[in-house]
Amino acid sequence: MDKLYEEVEEPVSPHGQYFNTSFMCSYIFAFLELATSFDVSLAIPLIKDVFIPINPRFSSIMVRGKDGNMRWKKVEVKPEEHVKVPKFPETTNSSPIELYDSYLSDYVTGIFVERTPEDKPLWEIHIINYPTKNATSTIIFKLHHALGDGYSLMAALLSCLQRADDPSLPLTFPSRPQFDSKYTKKSLFKSLYQIFSSVSDFGSSIIKTRMIPDDITPIRSGYEGIDSQPVILSNISFSLDQIKQIKSNLGVTINDVICGMIFYGIRLYMEEMNEKTKTSNSTALVMLNTRNIGGYQSLKEMQKPEYKGLWGNKISFLQIPIPKPNQSGILNPLEFVWEAREVIKRKKSSFSVHLIGLLMDLEMKLRGPEAVSKIIYDTIGNTSVVISNMVGPVEKMTLANHPVNGLYFTMMGGPQDINITIMSYVKVLRVSMKTLKGFIDEQKLKFCLEKAFEVIFKTSMKISEISTKD
């Protein structure tokens, strides 16, 4: 019994503590859109037999040990206490789907701001058995960020799903670009430049974090206590095939296309809402998965000793200035893609991400998790938008034989007016926007992002036509 207790009561990682303090209580929400109504009687067996065994943290709570450090303590899990099946008002409306969309939106807004009880494992599952425009039923996984980052928690979710075409086969994911070995050897000049660039990025990051916030604009209110205010979640779907066409035409990556499109759309929105702010200083905080691994691990792989280190919060961030119009005041759509590519490429090769991590570790040792959590909170608050993306499977999935139509996620628990998350599934890229209610015009923002994508696609196709003629 003592041995089992020691195995289960593992220390809470520093990042796990940062996300559960008086400054921040952060959650990841994953949404599964099903093509059929979900059989609620299957929920408890799936949780007991599939979900809970994935990781000990799903059956543990955070407690403070005698040494003053936070640890994961094993507890008895009562799955029925973690499953919520809301009842929406009955309707005789001729358009019930629109009404249920509204009910779902209100329900999601409510669970965004509610904390899960600290005396129970930090997760909930919400089963919405009402039809909406995108699904016949929707399942929402609410998972505390202390349990793990997006990679860990999405891997857990995907371990509960099967391929629709052949459940015996594993899900597959788009391949990541292979690192070209010819660039491993750097000249002295390039090495010195990288060191200078890293120190510069590190210095500017510290200044941005602690001293200079972004300008007040239509995308950054500067309000205090935003993390407890009502928000609205909206979604846009884009064709992955069209994104790949842009990628090929411009000679960039898919991430470059997505970031360029988002940056361009944000500048269009700022110009639309207040033309004077279209050249304001605005920064995007782009979250990074620091694991050197291509896809998610299966449930069996995640339980192997050599893969357990991949669980947790292996994340960092890049502070990316949102490109401005050129000197003539013209918004050149392709410049947003190319500039996003250059800045992200340079910052990814910089050592600043690791220097920031070392500084946070030092702060943790000297001042504790509350102090580091405050730094993270201020970093998010001083920027204008948080962007995070994850790669989804290329095949259709099912959950206990219920076909999955759509898959997306979002995050809650930081002081940002706009949080943008991106996830691919089969041939669709889902962009989800969590926006501050009453401050951000989410419909206009959606329109501007859709317009940005359309313009970038058409402009890139013209470049392709010209190069083909040449």
pLDDT tens-digit profile of 248-303?
999 999 999 999 999 999 999 999 999 888 889 999 988 876 655 555 555 556 55
pLDDT tens-digit profile of 296-328?
555 556 555 555 555 555 667 788 889 888 765
Predicted pLDDT at 349 = 67
Cα–Cα distances in angstroms (integers) from residue 266 to residues 60, 251, 263, 423, in the given order: 41, 23, 5, 19
Predicted pLDDT at 290 = 61
**What is the rounded CA–CA span in Å between residue 65 and residue 438?**
43
pLDDT confidence tier of residue 137, bands split at 50, 70 and 90 = very high
Least confidently predicted of 178-187, 437-446, 450-459: 178-187
**What is the rounded CA–CA span in Å between residue 45 and residue 442?**
39
Burial state string for 201-216 with b = 16 or more CB within 10 A and e = fewer than 16: bbeebbebbeeebbee
**What is the rounded CA–CA span in Å between residue 18 and residue 412?**
14
pLDDT tens-digit profile of 243-262?
999 999 999 999 999 999 99
Please give the residue that has the higher pLDDT: either 335 or 332. 335
Prediction pTM value = 0.87
pLDDT tens-digit profile of 338-363?
988 888 887 766 666 666 777 777 87
pLDDT at 417 over 80: yes
Instruction: Give, as one character, the DSSP assignment of residue 147.
Output: G
**What is the rounded CA–CA span in Å between residue 173 and residue 295?**
6
Predicted pLDDT at 373 = 86
Predicted pLDDT at 309 = 53
Predicted pLDDT at 294 = 53
Residues pairing with 286 in the sheet: 318, 387
Which helix (DSSP H) or strand (DSSP E) does residue 390 occupy? strand 385-390
Q: Read off φ and ψ for residue 295, nearest 5 degrees.
A: -130, -175
pLDDT confidence tier of residue 5, bands split at 50, 70 and 90 = very low
pLDDT tens-digit profile of 196-210?
455 555 556 665 666
Predicted pLDDT at 181 = 38
**What is the rounded CA–CA span in Å between residue 342 and residue 389?**
19
Closest CA to 47 of 74, 72, 82: 82
Predicted pLDDT at 56 = 87
